[in-house]
């Protein structure tokens, strides 16, 4: 018997639906919409890797360049058993719009390998990473395609990629990848950048709504690098109260507020929030937890039409890429929930990746305070640009006012389209 597929969970369809809605509000013709919607290049690799036991195993890898009109393709590489060409294509398109919203000179790219990295030894992971980098060395480059970390990858993998590319080029080229260790040309503030950007967007949204952030109750889904940093910054710098946190190990809650520093230490030691002695297990979905601000910082498709009506937060700040489906967006909008869209909210990571790329290319590195100040300037400007676009949209039109997500897409599409118009079309 055929299994029914839930189309609202298809990330590529969701990305295209979001784009089409914004493009329609900008009254783009079908040809222009296709030009901006279709990826420039999609590559599939079959990667042979010698395993520790002497056997060869084949892994499927992907790299998609969505649009490079504004600059080199930019986007992370994820290692996950569910990686697919559709998912990577959707993520690459989101990167195009994210870079445009942040107004940094990159296009959109994304990559991935279909693998559960927990099942591989360190040596096997290194051979797999280097094979992937070598196979794509004709695509990668500081002026063509600049990868970065994503789900289940980090500084270590980026250092391997930088070394592999440099060996092929017969020269040290650090600007080929971002998210590297500091000793290999990484940037101060890069690890915290995505979470810091989420925090800044939440600050700006609270100011926009006239809502106090100090004392606000926050639930964080996905207590990894993005969610953990966001929670820490919101608690330490803004006085918010983190009342719930979750990851793959489980979920915990404390209505009086979690000790975020203690929880971060617990996660580092136990590899998950489960069992944290300063909280009780959360037996219901964290998406539906009673809070003022919800930060989905895990994977795609966490808020759907099945659970959106039960979201109790006033603000949803998307730390992850694509955590809310288009159907869920409509439900949240009708409930008066303010969604800070992913292409704006989590753009702090790619913004500091841009700073890292700039520093690599000029061979001069900034202190962390300067990186953070530049990041804040970029994020505040991007948030203001999106709010201004939303407010310029005529609420009396037959289509009605646009959501913050569609406003962000409209800002991004206009910027990418303007560069296409200025550059012309090569024939």
Assess whether 52 and 147 both reside in one domain: yes
Asked whether residue 200 falls in the same domain as residue 167, the answer is: no
pLDDT digits (tens, 9 = 90+) for 199-242: 999 999 999 999 999 999 999 999 999 999 999 999 999 999 99
List, for residues 254-270, the tens digit of each pLDDT value: 999 999 999 999 999 99
SS3 48: strand
What's the mean per-residue pLDDT of the chain? 95
Model confidence band, residue 166 (pLDDT cutoffs 50, 70, 90): very high
DSSP 419: H
Could you tell me if 294 and 317 are in contact, meaning their C-beta atoms sit under 8 angstroms apart?
A: yes
Residue 61 has pLDDT above 80, yes or no: yes
Give dist(CA 407, CA 183) in Å, integer: 39
Give the pLDDT score at 400: 72
Asked if the structure places residue 72 within a domain, the reply is yes
Asked whether residue 201 falls in the same domain as residue 169, the answer is: no
Domain assignment of residue 90, yes or no: yes
Question: Does residue 196 sit within a domain?
Answer: yes
Look at the alpha carbons of 80, 13, 401, 413 in this order and tell me if their dihedral is positive or negative.
Answer: positive
Return the CATH number at 338: 3.40.50.720
Nearest CA among 122, 94, 90, 123 for reference residue 108: 94
| Same-domain pairing of 169 and 294 | no
Q: Are residues 169 and 200 in the same domain?
A: no
pLDDT at 3 over 60: no
For residue 79, what is the domain's CATH number? Answer: 3.40.50.10860
43 occurs within a structural domain: yes
Q: CA-CA-CA-CA torsion for 261, 264, 270, 275, nearest 10 degrees?
A: 70
Catalytic residues: 110
- 400 found inside a domain: no
122 and 226 share one domain? no
Does pLDDT of 397 surpass 80? Answer: no
> What is the domain range of residue 311?
191-345
Q: Are residues 207 and 154 in the same domain?
A: no
b (16+ CB within 10 A) / e for 226-241: bbbbbbbbbbeebebb
Q: Which residues pair with 254 in a beta bridge?
A: none
Among the three residues 313, 345, 377, which one is the final residue of a domain in this structure? Answer: 345
Residues in the chain: 427
pLDDT at 107: 98
DSSP conformation letters of 322-367: S-B-HHHHHHHHHTT-EEE-HHHHTTHHHHHHHHHHHHHHHT----
Comparison of pLDDT for 245 and 10, the residue scoring more: 245
Number of domains in the chain: 2
Is 48 in the same domain as 127? Answer: yes
Q: Are residues 274 and 340 in the same domain?
A: yes
Nearest to 196 by CA among 92, 99, 76, 297: 297
Within-domain flag for 183: no
Asked if 161 and 129 count as a contact pair (C-beta separation under 8 A), the reply is yes
User: Do 218 and 297 fall within a single domain?
Assistant: yes
165 plus 210 within the same structural domain: no
Summarize pLDDT for 272-312 with one digit per residue, the tens.
Answer: 999 999 899 999 999 999 999 999 999 889 999 999 999 99
Q: Which of 328, 345, 362 is the last residue of a domain?
A: 345
Indicate if the pLDDT at residue 1 is higher than 50: no
* Chosen domain end from 323, 345, 367: 345
Q: At what angle do helices 30-37 and 404-423 cross, to 10 degrees?
A: 100
Residue 174, helix vs strand vs coil = helix
Alpha carbons 210 and 41: distance in angstroms, whole number: 44
Distance from C-alpha of 197 to C-alpha of 206, rounded to nearest angstrom? 14
Q: What is the pTM of this model?
A: 0.93
Confirm whether 110 is domain-assigned: yes
Q: Are 377 and 354 in contact (CB under 8 A)?
A: no
In this structure, are 169 and 209 located in the same domain?
no
393 is written with which tokens?
Answer: 């949209």
21-37 pLDDT, tens per residue? 999 999 999 999 999 99
Give the pLDDT confidence of 309-340 residue by residue, as tens digits. 999 999 999 999 899 999 999 999 999 999 99
Q: Are 294 and 310 in contact (CB under 8 A)?
A: no
Half-sphere exposure of residue 183: CA atoms within 13 angstroms, side-chain side: 4
């Amino acid at each position: 018997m055929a299994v029914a597929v839930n189309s609202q969970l298809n990330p590529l369809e969701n990305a295209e639906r979001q784009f089409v809605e914004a493009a329609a509000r900008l009254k783009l013709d079908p040809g222009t919409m296709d030009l901006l919607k279709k990826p420039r290049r999609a590559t599939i690799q079959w990667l042979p890797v010698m395993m520790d036991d002497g056997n060869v195993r084949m892994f499927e890898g992907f790299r998609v360049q969505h649009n490079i009109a504004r600059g080199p393709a930019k986007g992370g590489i994820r290692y996950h058993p569910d990686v697919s060409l559709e998912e990577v294509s959707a993520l690459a398109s989101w990167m195009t719009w994210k870079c445009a919203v942040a107004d940094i000179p990159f296009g959109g790219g994304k990559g991935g390998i279909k693998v559960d990295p927990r099942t591989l030894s360190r040596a096997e992971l290194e051979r797999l990473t280097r094979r992937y980098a070598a196979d794509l060395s004709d695509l990668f480059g500081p002026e063509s395609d600049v990868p970065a970390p994503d789900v289940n990858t980090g500084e270590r993998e980026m250092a391997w990629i930088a070394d592999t590319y440099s060996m092929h080029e017969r020269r040290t080229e650090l600007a080929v990848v971002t998210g590297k260790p500091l000793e290999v040309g990484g940037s101060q503030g890069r690890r915290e950048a995505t979470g810091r950007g989420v925090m800044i967007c939440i600050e700006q949204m609270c100011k926009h709504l006239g809502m106090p952030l100090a004392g606000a109750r926050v639930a964080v889904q996905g207590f990894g690098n993005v969610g953990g940093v966001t929670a820490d910054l919101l608690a330490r710098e803004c006085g918010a109260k983190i009342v719930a946190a979750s990851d793959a190990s489980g979920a915990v809650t404390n209505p009086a507020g979690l000790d975020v520093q203690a929880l971060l230490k617990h996660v580092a030691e136990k590899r998950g929030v489960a069992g944290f002695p300063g909280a009780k297990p959360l037996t219901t979905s964290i998406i539906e937890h009673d809070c003022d601000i919800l930060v989905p910082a895990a994977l795609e498709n966490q808020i759907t039409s099945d659970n959106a009506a039960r979201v109790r937060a006033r603000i949803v700040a998307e730390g992850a890429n694509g955590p809310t489906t288009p159907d869920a967006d409509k439900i949240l909008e009708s409930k008066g929930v303010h969604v800070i869209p992913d292409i704006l909210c989590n753009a702090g990571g790619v913004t500091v990746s841009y700073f890292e790329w700039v520093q690599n290319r000029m061979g001069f590195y900034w202190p962390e305070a300067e990186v953070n100040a530049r990041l804040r300037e970029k994020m505040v400007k991007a948030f203001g640009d999106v709010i201004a676009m939303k407010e310029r949209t005529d609420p009396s039109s037959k289509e009605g006012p646009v959501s913050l997500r569609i406003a962000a897409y409209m800002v991004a599409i206009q910027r990418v389209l303007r560069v296409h118009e200025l550059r012309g079309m090569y024939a």
